[in-house]
């Protein structure tokens, strides 16, 4: 048993945790196992052992492996949406908004536990419930950006949505590439490079739209 699991076991057997605290403990253990093994190779036995609880305790909170995975996925998609929303609401300067949105994705993939892999690289993406959860998160992030672009740039919703989807896709793909490339470019520099690229495209769309009127 790992040192972490031993510590969890001592807590689990020595103290009766409140339901919310126990749930959080189980989700943390599940994340470690899912990220390390993927969904299909992960076992509820291993998750219970890592959390330091019995399988019956695990099943009291989550009736099956899929429900456990979906609960964990929802936690992290909600976190991503929160980061993007805060980025867009952090300023009224659209150039700074673009940089903050890019930074939100870089910070998300650079977070502890590689939770982003559950969202973007799951081996369960063909499961409808998983795909729906990821699609909802993406749509919410896009909607958040669309609201700002439409209101502040004078673009119609169709054009604003296209630009917003471009920013989301660019941010997600480059952030994951940056991490997989072992962070060879310092994070703030990487964010600045991608934000500049995005802004030149998004900012350049405003005069084009104005010319059409």
Distance of alpha carbon 144 from alpha carbon 4, whole angstroms:
38
Q: What is the pLDDT at residue 147? A: 85
Domain that holds residue 25: 17-63
pLDDT digits (tens, 9 = 90+) for 73-94: 999 999 999 999 999 999 988 8
Short-list 119, 114, 126, CA closest to 84: 119
Average pLDDT over residues 126-136: 94
Contact 203, 154 (CB under 8 A): no
In a domain, 159, yes or no: yes
- pLDDT by residue (tens digit) across 40-51? 999 999 999 999
The reply to whether 197 and 177 lie within a common domain is yes
Whether the CB-CB separation of 142 and 164 falls below 8 Å is answered with yes
Residue 58 and residue 70 in one domain: no
Site of tokens 């609880």: 53
pTM for the complete prediction?
A: 0.83
The CATH number of the domain where 175 resides is what? 1.10.357.10
Q: Which residue has the higher pLDDT, 138 or 19?
A: 138
More confident residue, 151 or 103: 103
- In order of 51, 178, 180, the CA distances from 183 in angstroms are 31, 6, 7
CA–CA distances in Å: residue 143 to residues 48, 60, 93, 119, 133: 38, 36, 18, 18, 15
Contacts of 129 (CB under 8 A, 6+ apart): 66, 70
Q: How confident is the model at residue 204 (pLDDT cuts 50, 70, 90)?
A: low
Residue 212 falls inside a structural domain = no
More confident residue, 113 or 12: 113
Shared-domain flag, residues 103 and 152 = yes
Question: Of residues 15 and 17, which shows the higher confidence score?
Answer: 17
Mean pLDDT, the chain, rounded, equals 87
In a domain, 170, yes or no: yes
The verdict on residue 73 lying in a domain is yes
- Do 137 and 100 lie in a common domain? yes
Same domain, 70 and 58: no
12 is a domain residue: no
Is residue 92 domain-shared with residue 184, that is, in the same domain?
yes
Question: Do residues 33 and 81 both lie within one domain?
Answer: no
| Domain contains 209 | no
The answer to whether position 40 is within a domain reads yes
| Residue 4 pLDDT greater than 70, yes or no | no
Residue at 211 is within a domain: no
User: How far, in Å, are 19, 82, 181 from residue 106 at the CA level?
Assistant: 32, 14, 13
The tally of domains found in the chain comes to 2
Whole-number Å distance between alpha carbons of 91 and 74: 27
């Amino acid at each position: 048993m790992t040192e972490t699991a031993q510590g969890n076991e001592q807590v689990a057997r020595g103290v009766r945790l409140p339901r919310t605290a126990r749930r959080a403990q189980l989700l943390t253990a599940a994340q470690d196992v899912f990220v390390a093994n993927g969904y299909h190779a992960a076992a509820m036995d291993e998750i219970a052992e890592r959390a330091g609880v019995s399988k019956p305790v695990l099943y009291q909170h989550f009736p099956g492996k899929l429900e456990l995975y979906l609960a964990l996925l929802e936690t992290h998609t909600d976190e991503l949406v929160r980061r993007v929303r805060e980025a867009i609401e952090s300023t009224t300067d659209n150039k700074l908004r673009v940089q903050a949105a890019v930074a939100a994705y870089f910070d998300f993939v650079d977070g502890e536990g590689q939770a982003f892999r559950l969202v973007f690289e799951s081996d369960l993406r063909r499961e409808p419930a998983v795909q729906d959860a990821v699609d909802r998160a993406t749509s919410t992030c896009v909607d958040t950006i669309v609201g700002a672009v439409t209101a502040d740039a004078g673009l119609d919703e169709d054009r604003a949505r296209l630009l917003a989807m471009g920013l989301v896709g660019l941010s997600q793909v480059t952030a994951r590439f940056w991490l997989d490339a072992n962070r060879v470019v310092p994070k703030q520099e990487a964010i600045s490079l991608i934000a500049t690229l995005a802004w030149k495209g998004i900012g350049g769309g405003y005069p084009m739209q104005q010319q059409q009127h």
